Structure 1
Amino acid sequence: MNNIVLKRESNTDFSSTDETSLLVVIFDSNPGQQFLRDNTHVLTHCLDSIIAFSNAHLMQKAQNKLAVMACHSKTSQFIFPGPGKPIDIRQTDGQYEIFTMVEKTIKHNLSKLLGSDISNILTESLLAGTIAMALCYIARMQRIKSPGIKINSRILLVTGSSDSASQYMNYMNVFFTAQKHNVVIDVCALDQHLSLLQQGCDITGGLYLKLPQLQGLLQYLLWVFLPEPPIREKLVLPPPVKVDYRAACFCHRELIDIGFVCSVCLSIFCKFSPICTTCHTVFKMPGPLAVKQKKKKLKL
């Protein structure tokens, strides 16, 4: 994230208003996602919808800020603003210059990222790490803003990956960090229901949506996720579903209903273990259950 160039002179437009909105969009571009393996052309459709949604966010207010990240199986990168110097953009007739820059920069940097991955090994997406990078970027923007200016920050995660219980602790860390810094996390699930990310939305006060049909991605983005959190209370949005707050065990990385919790480090296990594999605390073996003796009836 240190290769992102933030110009000091660009911060002067913060002073023209007392409040602005910073949106960080995380797009899961991992080719190992099931819906991308079935139809590779869907990636172009999702990317065009995200670009249109990003431009709509910038169009709402001139002071709004935008960052777009690509989450991959091995790395996570900022594709807008891109690393290094901005690319040369030729103005397109009939299109606002900022919109042209957003579109060209995102497509250029994403194509470089996808072209650099020549491995055929399919692994899970680094979603928790990407959210952590987004929180660092938001904290950096909060630090360099002008005095007296309020920035409302939120993160939108668009993914079609499945739930990853192996990243459970990383998810919980970024969720509660976002809650502490008043950063709202929204999730748009393209393919499968994601219970862990649904927990993050509930913790941070964001919205979770399992997309009914992929063809209407742009419509759902504009309807559900474009309004800012204070405005959402006045809109008719999809009703919230029951949040699955099951935890993932540290031994098999599976979601469980009932388990054993370490009294020292609060690690969760689905089966009893005499030694905690996280903090190596030794527990006493549970003894046999005491059998209550029946009272003998006195003979009269």
Structure 2
Amino acid sequence: MATVVERARTRCGPSLDAALAAAAVAHGDTRVRTAVITRVLGLTRRDDVAWRALFGTATPTTAEVLKVLTTYERTSKDVAEAVFGALKTLGRAELDVLAMLADRRHLPTTAGWRRVVEDDLRLRGWLDRPSARTASELEKVHDTAVTARAHQIVHVLLEKAGTETAAAAVRHAGSAVLAVLCRELPRRWAQSDATAARAVGLAYLAASSDHCAEALTDEVENRLGRFAVTAKEERIAEIAQMPGLLSRREAADWLRFVAGMRQHHAESRKRSAKPVPRSPAKKPPPRAGLWPFSRKGGD
């Protein structure tokens, strides 16, 4: 079989090589597919020739697209258009592809995708160089880019940016960033590292923002309430006194919230320990009233 293929290759030249590569990528297993792609990219100087040979009859994965783009310093118009057509979802890897193409002056033609690219460019710019002065950029970013880079956002706010910069970013964040923070930050509270207290404080700021959805505010309030009841005094004070995190008013509101939640918890335990009264007992005040920034009429 190998002899037949070699004879055919001698007679037909590059056209057969391309056909064999396309067939291997389309029908081979992962190992064969990876080997063929690596081989073709190593032998072909033009990205459009390599693309046609590899993906003439097969759809590339996002990882394979990135491999093609990183192999060549420039991307031809034909390949850029083919890549736009090949991307079906927009996760972090796909945003990396779009960002690389944007850096090479290739933008998608559809308005929706173009906005995603612009959003991601703005977001990546802030993540690379977080600054309190430019925190307002986070108010303009929409859901797709934020969701795809959620872990990067949390990492920067907790571990890369200074405390004052992180707090400013949360205060300026739009609804998309706030939704990510309300979902991701509570997962960091149980950790014993230096970022846990900052995570609580930033979540408190996120949930108190006027741009935060009310359902998210309620959810974070419940989680903060459980934290307030179980946390040690040292941790509560650390959050209130951390330089650059909360303003004086915010710190006072935080301590008032903690005290209110603890009182509410203690009263609930007392009521549950008493025998059930014959007449209906007076209902306890709603927890929402303990939330300093509640939009339900709380203090």
Name the TM-score class by shorter chain: under 0.3
More strand by share: 1
Q: Which has the higher contact order (CA 8 A, sep 6+)?
A: 1
Q: TM-score normalised to the size of structure 1?
A: 0.24
Normalising to structure 2: TM-score of the pair?
Answer: 0.24
Larger helix share, 1 or 2: 2
- Larger Rg belongs to: 2
